[in-house]
């Protein structure tokens, strides 16, 4: 997959793909998953291959174009070989996976805040894993 921006080409090679409610990692990267099942949550980074040209500013969950790299925190239900069953997946079937990381305390941010409009969005959200500000 190539992405052209201001005369530069970025090449992204997926390490796996979304298949229904799971992530299937390419067999050559299976060793990299060792021990991942010991974590309750993972960070998953995706190439949003159906996104349009980037905009400098977007509104979450609003209309418009998106930057093609997306990430989300997923609850890891189980792992069997190169297949990860997860909860909270919000990308289309076939979406390329470009990286995975275990979610640890290091990712938690103390003293953070969000603008009031995010709290309004969260009030409409029914999936707790999709909320931006869970406090």
Q: What is the CATH number of domain 13-104+112-130?
A: 2.40.30.70
Going residue by residue through the chain, which has 135 residues, state the pLDDT in tens, using 9 for 90 and above.
555 666 677 777 999 999 988 999 999 999 999 999 999 999 999 998 766 555 555 555 555 556 678 888 899 999 999 999 999 898 889 999 999 999 987 777 777 788 888 888 888 877 766 666 655
Q: List the structure tokens of 10.
A: 């970025």
Report the pLDDT value the prediction gives residue 12, as an integer from 0 to 100. 79
User: How far is C-alpha 33 from the chain's CA centre?
Assistant: 17
Report the pLDDT value the prediction gives residue 106, as an integer from 0 to 100. 79
Q: 44 and 71 in contact (C-beta within 8 Å)? A: yes
């Amino acid at each position: 997959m190539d992405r052209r921006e201001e005369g530069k080409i970025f090449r992204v090679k997926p390490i796996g793909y979304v298949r229904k409610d799971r992530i299937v990692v390419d067999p050559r990267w299976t060793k990299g998953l060792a021990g991942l099942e010991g974590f309750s949550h993972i960070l998953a980074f995706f190439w949003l291959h159906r996104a349009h040209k980037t905009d400098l500013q977007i509104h979450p969950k609003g209309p418009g174009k998106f930057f093609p790299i997306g990430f989300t925190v997923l609850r890891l239900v189980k792992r069997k070989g190169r297949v990860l069953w997860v909860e909270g997946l919000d990308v289309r079937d076939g979406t390329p996976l470009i990286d995975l990381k275990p979610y640890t305390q290091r990712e938690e941010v103390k003293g953070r805040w969000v603008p009031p409009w995010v709290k309004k969005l969260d009030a409409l959200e029914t999936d707790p894993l999709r909320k931006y500000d869970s406090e």
